[in-house]
Structures are given as structure tokens and as C-alpha cells.
Structure 1
Amino acid sequence: MKFSLFLGCVVVSILAVTSGHTFDSTLDEDWKNWKLKYEKQYTEDEEIDRRMVWEDNMRYIEQHNLEHSMGKHTFTVGMNQFGDLTNKEFNELMNGFLQVEVDNSTEEEVDEEDDTEDDEEFEESDEELQGAIVDWRRQDLVTPVKSQRGRCRFRRNKVDTRIKRYRRVRRNERALARAAQRVGPIAIAINAGRKSFQLYNRGGYYDQRCGQRLNHAVLLVGFGTERGKNYWLVKNSWGRTWGKQGYINMAKDRRNNCGIANYAVYPIV
């Protein structure tokens, strides 16, 4: 075989292999800017893989937001720091809450004994909650949004309050709302595993496929109503570049979507 013919075969073979990595050239500038914004650096092989995932997420965002404009969704999604991760990679990296520990715990039995209330008190609570707006940030009771991949800066000599014990809230949205209104911010766990959550941007988050298997711990700081839809105001721990400057409005009173009322605790000091 002549060298020129051999070389031609090699070139054709290379093109055939690399054709599976064809990128959308119209996104070149967006890709470059996104890497700069989030300080992403890759090896040559990583660049190909991450760009493929990133473009797939861009297509997902475009399709979801088109459907949102047609009234099919109550929230929008957008590109963020997790744009180069598949949903599987995202869950392995960011969602480490263990549901099995909740299932096997005896905390709820203790709480039921400590916090028994009659039906009359529940009815009064329902009246108080109608149309209520709660946002504990306004009382300066919520610290700034942080990123959970940072180091813990706990110092024992800086402790000025000690927790005696903590109380578990009953597993329903009514009890959770009452606790959030009367007590303050409540630690909760949710299902944050959907791609729609990974790339959440704005609006009231409701995903009918969001199950109640808990995998992520967050902080409930209030609730309210927007455009006729009730929502929970939730503080996340993925930095201010995610969601609404680190926050998300999650659907309230919609059959416990994402298991938001399944695990909620607050301290007794």
C-alpha cells in the first residue's frame, strides 16, 4: 500500500472516531465563559467528556424552559456550577444524606411523647397559617449561604450555646408549617436527586417525579404564597450561584413533594 493511501486511511479512521465528539460550535463562547466563571480546568480527555455532558445539560435546559413558557412547569432551570456533571455524578458528589438512618431511628417516638397536642390546637394552628408569610431571614436568624465542599471552621472555645436535645416534627406539611412559624428555622431532608433540582433556577419547584426517598439535608427558613401557589422557602448549601442566590422555593401542600415533611428537627437550647 502506498504511503499516501495509508495516510488517507488513517485520517479517515481518526475522523470516524472523533465524529462522535462533534460539538455545537455556536456554544463555543458560552462554554469558554462558563469555564472561566466557575474556574473549570480539564485535561484534554476530560475536556471532551465534560463538554459532551455540558451540552447535553444545555439541551435539557432549553427544552425545559420552552415547556415552562408553555405552562408545563412552575419553575425554570439554568446552567450553574454543576453543568458538567451527569445526574448520576451529581448525586454521588452532592447528595449524601442517608435515608436508612432515618428509617431505623427512634427519634420520632421520643418526639411524639414530648410534643403531644390535641385536635383543637391543630385547628387553631390551621387558622393561624392561612395566608401566613414566614421568612426568618428578616429576623436575622439565618446565616449567609455557604458551600458544603468548604472546611468546617468549628472551634470549641467559641461555643456560647449548648443544645440540650432536639425535637422531631410530625411527618406532615401542616405540622411542619406550624413548627416553622412558631419555632424558627427547621433542619429538614429532601429528595434533591432530579436533574431539575440539580439545575434549578427560579420559580416554585414542583417535579411530579420527585420521590420521597431523602438524600440531602437543607434548612427550612419560611413559607408563603406566590402567584396563587404555596411554597416552602429553603436554604441550600451549594453556594450562592445555585438557584435563587442559594435558595429554592419548593412546592407546599402538594402531597409532600420530594418528601419535604418526612424528616424535620429543631434544637432545644
Structure 2
Amino acid sequence: MNPQLILLISLISCLIVTACQALTDDEITSEWNTFLERTKKSYRSPVEASRRLAIFKENLETIESHNALFEQGKVTYKMAVTQFTDLTKEEFSQYVNKFKLSQRPKQSENIYKANPNLTVAAEIDWRNYGAVTYVKNQGQCGSCWSFSATGSMEGQSALVNGQPLVLSEQNLIDCATSQYENYGCNGGNMDGAFEYVSYYGIDSEEDYPYLEYQSDCEQRESVFRIRSYADIEHNEQSLQQAVSEIGPISIGIDATNELQNYASGILIDQTCSQQVNHGVLVVGYGSEGGYDYWIIKNSWGDYWGESGYFRLIRNYNACGITLMASYPII
């Protein structure tokens, strides 16, 4: 990692520790009630509810102190209450890692590599071209891989076929199973989903709606099929060129810790690793305030992040962003 970035991260860590601000009981109660109303959460007992409130309060204080630093220009992103604010960092990490992305035994025969003679766009946002559907929510099912896969297929349908479609994650969860190294709500991978769709096609979300659990496979009426898929060489130059040339790209990242209470801005995460555990979708990239960033669509609903999206620092292979990048070929 760039020494200047390491120095910035170290400075941020020190500042966060020293920037605490106290919240009143009324403020905490108001935030807690809003949280419960928005998330529709309930707890097994008063004891559990009290424990969750204590964790929420601690996280809320961290959010407030972090955001004070943001207002001073000392950090690059804001925090906010999310559906995960009643979890400890360890619990959030366990939640993400419970549904690990599964690695395929080998890469696709099609490998996308950067062409040094190709000029890429300085910035691109495929949301502006009708290539990205609305933000979805995987809920408690570890089906991130299916949302990432449908996202890149929806993009190709719109950009190549000129046919905007909303595709069915449930179809993949139920049907693209263990022979494709996918395990329904217990994790999977995007390449296996693409391989399944190359054989059988995929239904629309309207015809095969999301259940948030794995059910029996009922292939109904395929509306989209691909020929194959390609894996992208493990570097950000190739990934940037693919996003610029191809469209939205399926990727895997390490989603632990700092994404828990992310709200907006460019995420520089000093805690994430190169061990990918969450499937998401790169829909563009750009630059702001001297920082290059990726625009990433998540599957945690539009209550989280920048209306369901986040921006991640670019050109540092942050959080393993290049290690599981692929796209469908139609």
C-alpha cells in the first residue's frame, strides 16, 4: 500500500479515538426509536433488548465522533445509523463471514486483460445510462452472490440488447446450486451463477420473486440467457477498463467492519483485508477531492449507505476488489 495512504489511515485512527462527543439520553432514545421503526427489529427478551441498546449507544457515540472529524475535513467519509448499528464489530464481521463467497476451482477460459492502446473514460457512472436497476435487499439470506450476478446481467441486457430487465435472484438461489459451487443462502459465487444461466437462462424477478430463503427449483419462463462469462485479470487497470468498456462488473470484496455504519463519502478502510466475503457490483468510477474512487452497488437496501451504494478508494486494490471480478458474455 502507498506509504502516504498508510500515514493517512494511521492519522484517522488516532483522531477517531480522541474526538469523542457525549450524547444526551434523549438523543439516544430518539435515535433508538427511529432505528427500531425503520428496521422493524424486535428482540427475544427485555434483557436482549437492553443489551442491543447498549451496543447501539456505543456505536452511536462512535458515529458522532467520527462525523465530527468528517466536518473538520480529517476523514473522507461519514457514518450513520444503519440496520447493523445494534451489532458489535465482531458480530457484524461474523454476519458477513457467515456467508462467504465460494471460490471456483479454476478461472474462466475467457480472461479480460487491460489493452494499453485503449483510452478509458476519465469517469463513468452506468446509472446514468439505464444499465443499473433499483437497489435490492438480500435480508438475512447469504445470497449476495446472486444479486451481484443479476446486476451485471441486467447491465448487459440493457447495454447490449437494449432491453432493460429486472432478473430473479431467487431463480439462482434455488437452481444454481452445489454443482456450481453455490449454496443458496449460505454463500456462493458469481461465475457459477453465470454458468447456470448460460445453460438454462434466468427468469424475471416478477415471475420468480425473492423469498429470502432457498426453495425448490422452479425454472419458469427464461427472459435472458448468456453465452459465457469472463474473469478479469487481478489488477485495477484491467478492472477500470472493463467497467469503462463493458459496463457494470460483478466483484467480491471484504465487507467487514467499516461498512457497518457507512453513510456517504469515499471509504478508506484501514481494517479490511484481501479475503473477499461479499459479492457486489461496480457501476462506475470517478474522482473527488484528490481521491479516485469506485462506485459500488450493494444489496443491503437503500436505507444503507448512499441510497444503497458506496464509494471505495481506487488504485489501492482496497478490500480485495480485483480478486473476484467477472462479467457475463451475451
TM-score interval w.r.t. the shorter chain?
Answer: 0.7 to 0.9
Could you tell me which of 295, 315, 318 is aligned with 1:233?
Answer: 295
CA change 1:214–1:97 in 2 (3 A) is farther
Residue equivalent to 1:17: none
CA change 1:95–1:148 in 2 (3 A) is farther
CA change 1:105–1:98 in 2 (3 A) is farther
Shift of 1:184: 0.9
- Indicate the RMSD between aligned Cα atoms, in angstroms: 2.2
Task: Note the alpha carbon deviations across 1:160-203, whole angstroms, 9 max, x for none.
Answer: 22122211000011100000011111000011102x21100010
Shift of 1:158: 2.9
Spell out the pairing of 1:88-99 with structure 2 (5 A cutoff): 88-96=90-98, 98=100
Could you tell me which of 238, 245, 254 is aligned with 1:191?
Answer: 254
Looking at structure 2, the residues matched to 97 and 72 of structure 1 have their Cα atoms a distance apart, in angstroms, of: 34
Residue equivalent to 2:25: 25
- Residue pair 2:76, 2:266 contacting (<8 A) in 1 also: yes
Residue equivalent to 2:153: none
| Bigger proportion of residues as helix | 1
In structure 2, list runs of 5 or more residues that go unmatched.
1-22, 142-168, 172-207, 209-218
- Structure 2 counterpart SS, 1:174: helix
Residue equivalent to 1:14: none
Q: Does 2:3 match 1:35?
A: no
CA change 1:116–1:72 in 2 (3 A) is closer
Shift of 1:30: 2.3
Question: What is the percentage of aligned positions where both structures have the same residue?
Answer: 34
Looking at structure 2, the residues matched to 76 and 150 of structure 1 have their Cα atoms a distance apart, in angstroms, of: 25
- Residue pair 2:70, 2:77 contacting (<8 A) in 1 also: yes
Moved over 6 A (4+): none
Residue equivalent to 1:137: 127
Shift of 1:66: 2.2
Looking at structure 2, the residues matched to 96 and 263 of structure 1 have their Cα atoms a distance apart, in angstroms, of: 18
Residue equivalent to 1:146: 136
Could you tell me which of 217, 224, 242 is aligned with 1:179?
Answer: 242
- Residue pair 1:202, 1:243 contacting (<8 A) in 2 also: yes
- Residue pair 2:251, 2:280 contacting (<8 A) in 1 also: yes
- Residue pair 1:233, 1:247 contacting (<8 A) in 2 also: yes
Shift of 1:229: 1.7
In structure 1, list runs of 5 or more residues that go unmatched.
1-22
TM-score normalized by structure 1? 0.79
- Residue pair 1:231, 1:252 contacting (<8 A) in 2 also: yes
Shift of 1:24: 6.0
Q: Does 2:322 match 1:261?
A: yes
Q: Which has the larger radius of gyration?
A: 1
- In structure 2, give the amino acid aligned to 1:175: S
- In structure 2, give the amino acid aligned to 1:252: R
CA change 1:60–1:268 in 2 (3 A) is same
- Structure 2 counterpart SS, 1:83: coil
163-172 vs 145-154, greater mean Cα deviation: 145-154
Could you tell me which of 252, 256, 270 is aligned with 1:208?
Answer: 270
Task: Note the alpha carbon deviations across 1:23-64, whole angstroms, 9 max, x for none.
Answer: 962322222222122222222111111001101111111121
Spell out the pairing of 1:70-85 with structure 2 (5 A cutoff): 70-85=72-87
Shift of 1:149: 1.7
Residue equivalent to 1:58: 60
TM-score normalized by structure 2? 0.65
- Structure 2 counterpart SS, 1:201: strand
Looking at structure 1, the residues matched to 33 and 225 of structure 2 have their Cα atoms a distance apart, in angstroms, of: 48
Residue equivalent to 2:19: none
Task: Note the alpha carbon deviations across 1:195-251, whole angstroms, 9 max, x for none.
Answer: x21100010111133221111100111111122321101000000000000000111
- Residue pair 2:236, 2:317 contacting (<8 A) in 1 also: yes
Q: Does 2:224 match 1:166?
A: no
Looking at structure 2, the residues matched to 202 and 136 of structure 1 have their Cα atoms a distance apart, in angstroms, of: 19
Looking at structure 1, the residues matched to 267 and 250 of structure 2 have their Cα atoms a distance apart, in angstroms, of: 19
Q: How many matched pairs?
A: 233
Looking at structure 2, the residues matched to 158 and 245 of structure 1 have their Cα atoms a distance apart, in angstroms, of: 31
